[in-house]
Homo-oligomer: A and B are copies of this chain.
Amino acid sequence: MAVYTNVDEAALARCLADYAIGAALSFKGIAEGVENSNYLLQTEKGRFILTLYEKRVRAEDLPFFIGLMEHLGARGVSCPRPVKRRDGRAISILAGRPAAIITFLEGLAVTHPTAQHCRAAGAALGALHRAGADYEARRANALGPAGWPALALAIGGRADEIAPGLAATIKEELKYLDKAWPRALPAGVIHADLFPDNVFFLNGKVSGLIDFYFACNDFTAYDLAVMLNAWCFDAAHRFRPESAKALVAGYGSERELAQAELAALPILARGAALRFLLTRTIDWLDQPRDALVRPKDPNEYLKKLSFHRGVAGPEGYGLGA
């Protein structure tokens, strides 16, 4: 959650003059999205989210993200759709930062997802992968396997401040994953961060997916592995096989999961757990004194990683062949 940048109402009015959505009736910083400053903007024409892209989102990646939301929205995925300016562009400059106005989605994120929520969210991911299959822009996964050694290097010797032995665990894991990581699996555009706070529900149904700012090209099953970690453990970080079964079944209802993808889930889940362990460790060690963001606990992902290290195949998740 984040609001980093204060937007002057006069600067907002000047910015809105470039759009055809009328003047602002209310404007509130909201606690949504970790990387950017987000505002709920009500104008004479409706409700929108105004996002200021802070330094962790690279300006040169914005066309990929904006284009992806347009692409998915046009194919029936309920995701924010960029609002174009009068000059046809989707990016403005506001408070010295790149900014976009996107449509507002109703719905509430679920704090403790049930198996039913997992089924619905899995289906939404499958539909996203189908809709994204013909998206032509490309973006490498900066936080994928190729990026992990650099993250580990950035942490350096301080990993053991998080948990004794963590530095050694990370080193072993990097070595193992480098050898064991799948070389060939179905790939496409992935969300890469579909945690429960990025999925809105209304009446038990998925009403929208948000926060596409980690989206990239990678193995589509890696996206499912991210969700296996984020959706299928309870509050005490114990694995919930019923949730995993529902997630995978939901996914399969929208896009068929190949046998090789199912077989690769344990290794992909280990990698996904390592990815969030690494970035959470960095955020935890780096937090500035005046941070508006409370970092998430890296130890949650250390526990999940340890669990996956004990899983030999998909049957370890309760997933049958």
Query: Which residues of A approach B to under 8 Å, CB–CB?
Result: 1, 3, 6, 8-10, 12, 24-32, 40, 42, 104-112, 200-202, 287, 289-294
Contact = CB atoms under 8 A, between A and B. Distances in A.
Q: Which 4 A-B pairs have the closest CB atoms?
A: A29-B31, A3-B31, A8-B111, A28-B30
A111 B289 contact: no
A106 B1 contact: no
A102 to B, nearest CB: 14
A316 B10 CA distance: 31
Contacts of A108: 9, 12, 24, 26-27
A289 B292 contact: no
Contacts of A1: 3, 29, 292
Nearest to A38: B28
Contacts of A111: 6, 8-10
A10 B42 contact: no
Contact of A287 (B105, B201, B289, B293): B289
Given A1-B3, A111-B6, A287-B289, A202 B25 contact: yes
Nearest to A27: B108
Nearest to A31: B29
Nearest to A8: B111
A107 B26 contact: yes
Given A292-B292, A294-B290, A29 B26 contact: no
Contacts of A26: 104-108, 200
Contact of A294 (B10, B27, B292): B292
Q: How many copies does the complex hold?
A: 2
Contacts of A294: 290, 292
Nearest to A111: B8
A32 B27 CA distance: 11
A112 B10 contact: yes
A232 to B, nearest CB: 18
A285 to B, nearest CB: 13
Contacts of A10: 111-112
Contacts of A287: 289-290
A42 B106 contact: yes
A8 B196 CA distance: 12
A112 B6 CA distance: 12
A1 B40 CA distance: 15
20 contacts: A1-B292, A6-B111, A8-B111, A8-B112, A9-B109, A9-B111, A10-B112, A12-B108, A25-B106, A26-B106, A26-B108, A27-B108, A28-B31, A29-B31, A30-B30, A30-B31, A30-B40, A31-B31, A42-B106, A291-B291
A95 to B, nearest CB: 11
Contacts of A6: 111
Contacts of A201: 9
A162 to B, nearest CB: 15
Given A6-B111, A40-B40, A29 B30 contact: yes
